[in-house]
Amino acid sequence: MRLILFGPPGAGKGTQASLLKERKNLAHISTGEIIRAAMKSESPLGDEARSFVTAGKLVPDTLVRKLAEDAIARHDNDDFILDGYPRTLQQAEWLDEYLADNLVRLTAVVSLKVEDFIIIDRLSKRRVNKETGENYHLDFKPPPVDVPSKLIMQRRDDLPEAIQTRLKEYRDVTLPLEEYFKSSGRLIEVDGVGSMEAVYERIVAGVAAREVA
Ligand code: AP5
């Protein structure tokens, strides 16, 4: 199975990708996580990306293309979930070129639909374990009591101003891609509001219907 999880920041792409990874044995390829790891290790790529990420802006296309293609290739071009890639028309066209060159067909693009006020709540209450990278939500999935509080941090791009910039980048640059995927018959729209389990079940049902069709 080869999926793209698409949607605004905070739609639950990472949460659902983790569930799909665990239960369907798919590789989770998150360009956001790859970029954050590069920033942490202070590699040249990380240093170049840092100011964009912190401000909530998209990192230039040329920086992410190779990251994404290398990660897909590492998983033999199969059984993967792309989380957060592509996010621009240029990235989508490069991905299609890459898939065609490698004779790979996407199973589906799952677009998670969540309204802005819910996104703002999710992102402002997200906390991250800085060692494991695990995401929490202060109300719906609080950090376990046995995790020391010094390990729990807030992402800098989850501060109010950066959230607004990310939402604007999404609306202006990324959302138009829905039309690109819809016109090629690959888009599945899924209501991303509800419990994490309920959203997961909707995704699995939507993808299964696509596989049968
Ligand atoms: P990235 O890390 O991909 O951030 P994002 O797309 O903004 O997505 P998030 O991780 O914020 O949200 P999510 O949809 O994964 O939601 P999550 O499951 O975590 O990218 C970061 C940055 O890297 C970008 O801004 C950009 O600078 C750069 N970048 C990355 N890819 C790029 C690309 N292709 N091109 C250019 N630049 C790129 O959930 C959020 C919160 O909600 C959590 O607290 C979670 O516990 C909670 N939650 C999830 N589901 C539910 C639910 N059903 N009910 C209640 N709470 C829920």
Residue 103 above 90 pLDDT?
yes
User: Taking the model in full, what pTM does it have?
Assistant: 0.94
Centroid of ligand 1 to alpha carbon of 14 (angstroms): 6
Residue 71 above 90 pLDDT?
yes
Centroid of ligand 1 to alpha carbon of 204 (angstroms): 20
Q: Is 89 in the pocket of ligand 1 (CB under 6 A)?
A: no
Residue 86 and residue 94 in contact, taking contact as beta carbons nearer than 8 Å:
yes
Q: Is 170 in the pocket of ligand 1 (CB under 6 A)?
A: no
| CB proximity list for 78: less than 8 A, separation 6 or greater | 2, 104
Residue 180 and residue 86 in contact, taking contact as beta carbons nearer than 8 Å:
no
- Determine the atom of ligand 1 nearest the C-alpha atom of 155: 11
What letters, b where the CB count within 10 A reaches 16 and e where it falls short, cover 78-96?
A: eebbbbbbbbbeebbebbe
Domain borders along the chain are 2-26+79-113+174-212
Centroid of ligand 1 to alpha carbon of 102 (angstroms): 28
- Catalytic annotation, residues: 13, 87, 126, 155, 166
Query: Nearest C-alpha to atom 21 of ligand 1 is from which residue?
Result: 32
**DSSP H or E segment with residue 140:** none
Task: Give tens-digit pLDDT for 165-191.
Answer: 999 999 999 999 999 999 999 999 999
> Which CATH number does 2-26+79-113+174-212 carry?
3.40.50.300
